[in-house]
Structure 1
């Protein structure tokens, strides 16, 4: 038995309310369960109930066993002196306040709905399952599932908002700088995300602004700060970048001591950091007010137009500085742009809208619903149980569901878990 289940049972009144009695034999009439407290102190504040003929207003404490009261030393804590009812699964001893006055106890196992209890025990009997509800996920009604996924999508945006707020503090509230850092990280994808992130953080964004009039300057800045211009190569393009970077480094007093090394291993050539850095430079060269354009964009097509860029001409026949390759334009693909929208643009748009007092929830939902679902192991596993993810809204929500609920056994805080416990 988990204490979370007892909280759930009390909070949602999943009891035989007309039969409640204390362990001492007094009838309990429940008016209000109180306010759930997630911080220190009693579990529920300001409950209202009648015990016998006496009306009570105060706090409720919940434990698996009555003796847990003493295990947690509540009898010595005056914060628990206003507890009016001790709710437990098993009553194994009487409990007292710090002044030795007894506290009425409600033994919940005598009054819990047996179907709710059985469904709870079934849900939490893992037996090697990927998630607790694996065997019943397909039976969840689409209405419940879709509403919950929408809420989870916004939860994920709110979680990312915390990262954005921390970056705003680091950049003295410069939204363009925050956007540059996050965009650079996501240009690096999983393998080079952190190196790109460290590169972007090593550059004051004012330097990027002052370099935007020249694609060569931007490429030199990004390649140089990433440590890619330190070799002796007799290649005119490379030598031009080296020369420009030395000028920028001296002019802006650039340092890259804390920039992480780039990785090429096990990457497909289109994802080589050379290509991605050049594409990032082209994006900022083509759009001098990139952040504003993206914050003002309202449709998926608007975003695709902004991101319609390619790496510079040299990279048409190269993936690395030294080796030539078959000629092809290194444009940003639709699938790559989708990832940038999912992981950078929409979270920034959500946070920026909140900062400016703009109501953008419906707009963001519509855009997220127009972007195709991501493909990863989490999304695939859910889709194997029930085809549920067709859009990025749903795939992002499923990632939030798995990481913040399923993996943490928070089924009682999950709409899916609730629907299975209370069919």
Structure 2
């Protein structure tokens, strides 16, 4: 060092020797960084996995579906009028006549109190009323769609297993509608339906579907025709592949002032017309914000790890005051002393960052298994976490390194 320069390899060797000289202290310091890096990666990985699962489920089916509900604008969530029956049979017919429309699926709620089968009665407060168009061949597991005007019912796979004896095609169930009961025949079991905003991963929720004719009895007077008609709180328009956007614009135009819905809803209530892609973008935005927030909280543990590194480095400077004096006495410059202590700090944080990656991925993987979603690695967040860890190592080591560089060699050699 007499020539005023210390090789980088020598700096690394001295730094590693100082770290290994206090193994337990170094390991405990590194653990703080591991926890911080691991937390960031685990939360980011889980968030990315959930987002990928939700998006894939939404995009997997219904790419050409357009959802029409009262309230909500710019693709946002429906407002408080979401359950208001506003779309009349007349509106449904007008939507069906739009060019490029394959089907129009109205959906409503039928109030019930219970459903019974095989001597077992289960409470059930509501069932979904819809039309035959809700069931495409791709969602039918067995049987067929119900027919309008028939005492028939379609159930999803979760509902079929609700009873001790599973429901099958041909089973007869008894549905209680308030003070009256009615027997209906199960004619189909499905994995999902057209027109449902809920993606298929929610298939674990039992669903019962009744034909709107004759079970749905919510009616209003059509402002256009002046007669009572069924009115639905939600309508789904199924567009021809490749024409979703043009059909969406035509639906918006159709539901302006001349439609029954526009006249039945309060003046300040907008009609939400959202395609599947609009919903996907909204879901992605919400999950992304949540992930950033939770991951940002995890970054706080990295800051705690930085304080740990700074504390250990300050202790190290104090303990090695005499060593610093010897180094300066034989020609080490302030810059070289600073480089030595910064190298120790960055080595500790770098080791924590490298160890934190598998820990975070492991925890994230376990969380996705528990939540039963696919595993997606948040590569970007791994890079950010490691980068933050290294920056923290530099920042945490700056002040201790500066203190070490300012040690007076004469005073240091006298230090006991």
TM-score (norm 1): 0.26
Q: Which has the higher strand share?
A: 2
Greater RCO, CA 8 A, separation 6+: 2
Q: Which has the larger radius of gyration?
A: 2
TM-score (norm 2): 0.26
